[in-house]
C-alpha cells in the first residue's frame, strides 16, 4: 500500500508516525481545553469532541466523544469503527471538500498533553515469546528444561492489575518488597535491586464476550494495539513466584503508549506466526496471518547522559498472536470486556541485540551492558529513562505508535518504619 496523501502537510513526511494511513486514537488536553478524544495526523491532533459538536463527525444518535476515553466508540462495534475511519480519511485526504470546516479543529501536538486513551477494564499479561521464554528458562532451569511442558501448547498468562496501568510519561517509583538472598535463611524488606523493563505490545479488546470464542472471533474483537512496558521487579519475583507466579513483582506499573493504532491501520502489515514443531489443538490453530510486522526498539537514557539503543526486534517474533491469546483467555467461559488489555509477553529475537529485557541482555546480571556514554547496566538505576518505539513500514511511509516512556524514581523511605 502506498502513502495516502493528506492536506495536512506534515502527514506526508516519510518520518512521521502518523500519516493518513494511520489515524491513531488518543486523549489530549490543552491549556484551554480539558481532556478529550483526538486523532493524530502528522504533527497535529484533530479535536474529536469539537468535530462532533459541530456536526463534522456524526456517527450515532448519542455523542461518542464528549468523554476523555475511547471506550464508548469501542462499544459501538466494528461497523461504526469502520464508518469513523472512512469519515476521517475523507475529511483529511488531499483535496477534501470539507477542509475549511476541519482545519480550525486541528491542535498542534506540541501544545497538547497526552493522557490515558482508554479506561482499562482488566489487564492480562502473557509469556508468549519463545526466545524470551527460552532465555529465561535456560538461566533458571538449564537449556534442557528451558520451556515448561505446556508452553508449546497454550499461551501462558496471568491476571494483572488494571489499576497499575499508566500512560507514557508517568514516572515509575522503584518498589519495595520481600527479597531473599541465597546467602540468608530469611527474606528482608528492601527496595528492589533488580528492576527491569519488558518490551511488549498491548492488544485492546473492543468487543465483549461471554463464553468461549474462536480465534477468528477474537481477531475481530481486537480494536487496536499500543506499545507496552511491563515493569518487573526481578528479585521480588524470584522469591514470590513459586508456586503461583508473578504478583507484587509486576504490580508496580505497566506503561502504555498514548496512541491506539487501530487494527484497520495495521492490516497491510499482517504476517504469520512462526512454524510450530508441536501441533496446537484445533481451537487455537492459526486461521491466517494474525501477527504484524512491526519493528520495535528500546533506548535507555541515564540521567543527564545521552540515550543508547539497547534492543531492536520485531513483533513478528511472537509465538502466539493476540487473537490466540484472547481466544485462549475465553476457553473457560471467562467473560471478556470492552477495554480489556492483553500484554503480549516480552518480545525477543534470536540474537542478543534483539532481547526485550535487561534480564536477558545482562544474562541475569552476569554480563553487564555497556552504554554509549560508558556506563554499564545489569538492571535499571534511579534516573534512568526507558523509551519504547515501534512502527510498521510501508512504501514511503510508516504506521507508528509514538513512544512509550518512563523514568525511574528512587524508592520512597521505608513505608513501615516505626
Look up 132 and say whether it is catalytic.
yes
DSSP-assigned letter for residue 372: T
What confidence score (pLDDT) does residue 213 get? 98
What confidence score (pLDDT) does residue 418 get? 66
b/e map 46-77, b = 16+ CB within 10 Å: bbbbbbbeeebbebeeeebbebbbbbbbbebe
pLDDT in tens, 30-62: 999 999 999 999 999 999 999 999 999 999 999
What confidence score (pLDDT) does residue 245 get? 87
What confidence score (pLDDT) does residue 409 get? 98
**Domains identified in the chain and CATH numbers:** 9-115 (2.30.30.230), 123-409 (3.90.850.10)
Catalytic residue from among 132, 153, 283, 329: 132
pLDDT in tens, 226-270: 999 999 999 999 999 888 888 999 999 999 999 999 999 999 999
Residues sharing a CB contact under 8 Å with residue 182, sequence separation 6 or more, in sequence order: none
Locate 16 and state its grid cell: 512521521
Instruction: Report d(CA 32, CA 2) in Å as an integer.
Output: 37
What confidence score (pLDDT) does residue 195 get? 98
The list of the chain residues with pLDDT below 50 reads none
Distances (CA, A) of 398 to 1, 22, 65, 366, 390: 11, 8, 27, 37, 10
What confidence score (pLDDT) does residue 183 get? 82
Amino acid at each position: 500500500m502506498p502513502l495516502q496523501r493528506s492536506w495536512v502537510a506534515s502527514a506526508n513526511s516519510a518520518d512521521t508516525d502518523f500519516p493518513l494511513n494511520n489515524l491513531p486514537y488518543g486523549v489530549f488536553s490543552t491549556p484551554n481545553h480539558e481532556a478529550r478524544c483526538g486523532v493524530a495526523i502528522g504533527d497535529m491532533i484533530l479535536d474529536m469532541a469539537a468535530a462532533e459538536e459541530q456536526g463534522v463527525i456524526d456517527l450515532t444518535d448519542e455523542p461518542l466523544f464528549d468523554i476523555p476515553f475511547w471506550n464508548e466508540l469501542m462499544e459501538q462495534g466494528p461497523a461504526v469503527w469502520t464508518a469513523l475511519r472512512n469519515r476521517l480519511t475523507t475529511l483529511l485526504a488531499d483535496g477534501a471538500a470539507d477542509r475549511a470546516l476541519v482545519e480550525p479543529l486541528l491542535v498542534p501536538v506540541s501544545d497538547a498533553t497526552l493522557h490515558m486513551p482508554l479506561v482499562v477494564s482488566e489487564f492480562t499479561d502473557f509469556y508468549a515469546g519463545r526466545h524470551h521464554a527460552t532465555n529465561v528458562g535456560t538461566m533458571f532451569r538449564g537449556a534442557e528444561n528451558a520451556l515448561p511442558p505446556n508452553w508449546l501448547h497454550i499461551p501462558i498468562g496471568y491476571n494483572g492489575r488494571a489499576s497499575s496501568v499508566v500512560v507514557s510519561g508517568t514516572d515509575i517509583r522503584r518498589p519495595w518488597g520481600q527479597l531473599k538472598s541465597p546467602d540468608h535463611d530469611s527474606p528482608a524488606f528492601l527496595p528492589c535491586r533488580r528492576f527491569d523493563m519488558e518490551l511488549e505490545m498491548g492488544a485492546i479488546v473492543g468487543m465483549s464476550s461471554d463464553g468461549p470464542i474462536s480465534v477468528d472471533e477474537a481477531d475481530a474483537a481486537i480494536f487496536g494495539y499500543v506499545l507496552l512496558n511491563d515493569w518487573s521487579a526481578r528479585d521480588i519475583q524470584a522469591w514470590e513466584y513459586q508456586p503461583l507466579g508473578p504478583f507484587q513483582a509486576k504490580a508496580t506499573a505497566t506503561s502504555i503508549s498514548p496512541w491506539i493504532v487501530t487494527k484497520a491501520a495495521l492490516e497491510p502489515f499482517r504476517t504469520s506466526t512462526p512454524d510450530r514443531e508441536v501441533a496446537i489443538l484445533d481451537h487455537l490453530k492459526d486461521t491466517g496471518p494474525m501477527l504484524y510486522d512491526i519493528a520495535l526498539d528500546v533506548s535507555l537514557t541515564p540521567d543527564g547522559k545521552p540515550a543508547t539503543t539497547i534492543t531492536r526486534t520485531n513483533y513478528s517474533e511472537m509465538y502466539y498472536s493476540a487473537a490466540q491469546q484472547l481466544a485462549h483467555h475465553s476457553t473457560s467461559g471467562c467473560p471478556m470486556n470492552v477495554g480489556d488489555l492483553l500484554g503480549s509477553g516480552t518480545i525477543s529475537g534470536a540474537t542478543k541485540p534483539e532481547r526485550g529485557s535487561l534480564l536477558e541482555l545482562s544474562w541475569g546480571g552476569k554480563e553487564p551492558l555497556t552504554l554509549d556514554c560508558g556506563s554499564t547496566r545489569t538492571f535499571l538505576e534511579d534516573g534512568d529513562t526507558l523509551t519504547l518505539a515501534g512502527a510498521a513500514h510501508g512504501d514511503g511511509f510508516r504506521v507508528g505508535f509514538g513512544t512509550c516512556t518512563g523514568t525511574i524514581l528512587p524508592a520512597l523511605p521505608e513505608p513501615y518504619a516505626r
